[in-house]
Amino acid sequence: MAKVLVIDDEPSVRALLEMLLHPQGYDVILAENGWKGLQLYRQDHPDVNLLDLNMPELDGVSVLKQIRSVDLKQPVIVLTGETDPETERQVSVLGVSEFIAKGSSLHLLGDTLKRLLKTPASATAAGP
């Protein structure tokens, strides 16, 4: 089962992503801020990270820099409501895997996860 770490300060976003991903067979790990996200990243070794950029204290760009200092290839999907061109450039330079605006289709997120994990749809769904 693939582990997905969700780092987002909005409780409703975390709840929605868990509701979406858990039934698809993902082990969903939730972090309410950047500090907790880094702790869980080091502790749980997720297969992919969903990262919000705009968080208090430790923002998503700082979290991404820390992840990149450990693993240059770790899949990181930025999922954010802000689409500032300068921030997009920063995360692109840091090697973000995908940049998805909040409010985009949830199917886009699901397809992106499957592509990054190279998992066929039937392998992530619970079997009969």
Rg for the chain, CA atoms, rounded? 14
What letter would DSSP give residue 53?
S
Residue 126 has pLDDT above 60, yes or no: no
E-assigned strand segments in the chain: 3-7, 27-31, 48-51, 76-80, 98-101
Give the confidence band of 105 by pLDDT, cuts at 50, 70, 90. Answer: confident
Q: What is the rounded distance in angstroms from the CA atom of residue 19 to the CA atom of residue 32?
A: 16
Give the pLDDT confidence score for residue 81 in this predicted structure.
81
- For 63, the token pair is 């979290």
Average pLDDT, the chain: 88
pLDDT by residue (tens digit) across 81-102?
A: 876 788 888 889 999 998 888 8
Give the confidence band of 29 by pLDDT, cuts at 50, 70, 90. Answer: very high
Give the pLDDT confidence score for residue 20 in this predicted structure.
92
Q: What is the pTM of this model?
A: 0.87
Pairing, β 3-7 against β 27-31: parallel
Give the pLDDT confidence score for residue 119 in this predicted structure.
54
Query: What domains lie within the chain, and their CATH numbers?
Result: 3-124 (3.40.50.2300)
Cβ of 97: how many Cβ atoms within 10 Å? Answer: 16
Give the pLDDT confidence score for residue 31 in this predicted structure.
98
The DSSP bridge partners found for residue 28 are: 4
Query: What is the rounded average pLDDT of the residues 58-86?
Result: 90
More confident residue, 52 or 86: 52
